[in-house]
Amino acid sequence: MDGVTALDGITRPTLVVDEARARRNIARMAAKAAATGTRFRPHVKTHQSTTIARWCREAGVDGITVSSVEMAERFAADGWTDITIAFPFNAREADALLGLVAHGVRLGLIVDSHEAVRRLAASGITADTWIEVDAGYHRTGVDADDDQTLVDLATAIGHARKLRFAGLLTHAGHTYTARSRDDVLRIHGASVAGMLRAQASLAQAGIDAPISIGDTPGCSAADRFDGVDEIRPGNFIFFDLQQLQTGACSAEDIALAVACPVVGRYAARESIVVHGGSAHLSRDAADGPDGGAVYGQLVELDRAGLGWQLAEPAARLTGMAQEHGTITGPAAVLDRYPVGSLVLVVPAHACLACASTRRFVKLDGEPIEA
């Protein structure tokens, strides 16, 4: 970015969104959900931007997923009235949740223990209450094959005056360990199979249980969602290096980069140093070609400034401090970025880059709310 482009006024690390790609990614997932008869409830934690959530609304979305009560409050303030908080119910936040209900929000909450159901029932919160199911990720949730607990919890939810049993919800976060689309589909298939077994256990007890699934790799790689009632992907709007390495997207789908000012050039080490470190991109990493950690990869704007592609040969963000990023690559690429210029870096993990950097512009330089 030597010449003057729409981004030339950037002085500090700034998120840059390719709106055309983001809207194309939204439209593609919305179309897939419609074609398969699946409810589409995108997760907004990826961008945390009310502007980008409105792009989803324009594609027909009327309910969203968030990962914290604080995030629910921000999006409720922007007019969203149907919000699932896909994070275990935290009784300490009961007052804030009551406030959301009083504000007119239809809340979805998740639980995975009797203690949580007991506290939720006692809180007086009105909520669509999902049982979180562990279908292989082993982070949270009731084991998909623990019939007794599933039935007991669904029954307890059904008996609570202000709770409605909404169904079974899972996040197959282990699709992120995949390194090909086939890997993703195998993990996704096993996870959905677990959810269908859990559903069957409840059906035997006479309890109807819709299924909600969540992960972006699985939702992106799959062409159909047999037996699934709702999908909650988040990072399908931007994608990133982690999604690319799972096979969930192509490089041409990536719709987010971080613009970073170049502040140093170290020819002997074939590196440049930029303003853009772990305080901006986070230390979440993708695999490097040599097995090392890669925090980002350089992309280059096309001449018109309307799009970007991965730099060839590759230049990668391989070192970080709080504010410093070290990009290593061949001189042929790095020589195009003198001290004082800007580089665009696709992050390893878009969600954390957005959570950390919080300054958003579009490719045309127009700021959007973050």
Q: Which residues bind a copy of itself (CB under 8 A)?
A: 10-12, 45, 67-70, 87-93, 95-96, 112-113, 115-116, 119, 138-140, 173, 261, 263-266, 269, 273, 275, 278-279, 282-284, 319, 321-324, 326, 338-340, 342, 351-352, 355-356
Please say whether the beta carbons of 340 and 333 come within 8 A: no
Residues 89, 220: Cα–Cα separation, whole Å = 27
Closest to a copy of itself by CB, 179 vs 283, is: 283
Q: DSSP E strands: which ranges in 60-121?
A: 64-66, 82-88, 106-111
Closest to a copy of itself by CB, 51 vs 90, is: 90
Closest to a copy of itself by CB, 92 vs 161, is: 92
- As measured in angstroms, the least distance from the Cβ of 243 to a copy of itself is 15
**The total number of residues written for the chain in this structure:** 370
- As measured in angstroms, the least distance from the Cβ of 136 to a copy of itself is 13
Q: What spatial distance separates the first Cα and last Cα of the chain, rounded to whole Å?
A: 24
- As measured in angstroms, the least distance from the Cβ of 89 to a copy of itself is 7
- As measured in angstroms, the least distance from the Cβ of 206 to a copy of itself is 28
Closest to a copy of itself by CB, 224 vs 283, is: 283
- As measured in angstroms, the least distance from the Cβ of 31 to a copy of itself is 27
Cβ neighbors of 264 (< 8 A, separation 6 or more) are 272, 273, 339
Tokens of 59: 């594609």
- As measured in angstroms, the least distance from the Cβ of 37 to a copy of itself is 29
Closest to a copy of itself by CB, 36 vs 113, is: 113
Query: In this structure, is the dihedral angle defined by the CA atoms of residues 255, 315, 294 and 259, taken in order, positive or negative?
Result: negative
Per-position b or e across 144-160, b if 16+ CB within 10 A of its CB: bebbebbbebbebbeeb
Q: Which amino acid is at 207?
A: I
Tokens of 55: 């792009």
Residues 349, 46: Cα–Cα separation, whole Å = 9
Residue with tokens 């950390």: 356
- Per DSSP, 6 falls in state T
Element (H, E) at 61: none
Closest to a copy of itself by CB, 69 vs 150, is: 69
Q: How far is CA 35 from the centre of its chain?
A: 22
Closest to a copy of itself by CB, 33 vs 156, is: 156
Closest to a copy of itself by CB, 55 vs 87, is: 87
- As measured in angstroms, the least distance from the Cβ of 281 to a copy of itself is 11
- As measured in angstroms, the least distance from the Cβ of 174 to a copy of itself is 12
Residues 48, 43: Cα–Cα separation, whole Å = 9
- As measured in angstroms, the least distance from the Cβ of 142 to a copy of itself is 10
Closest to a copy of itself by CB, 155 vs 356, is: 356
Burial class (CB in 10 A: 0-12, 13-18, 19+), 304: exposed
Q: Which amino acid is at 67?
A: S
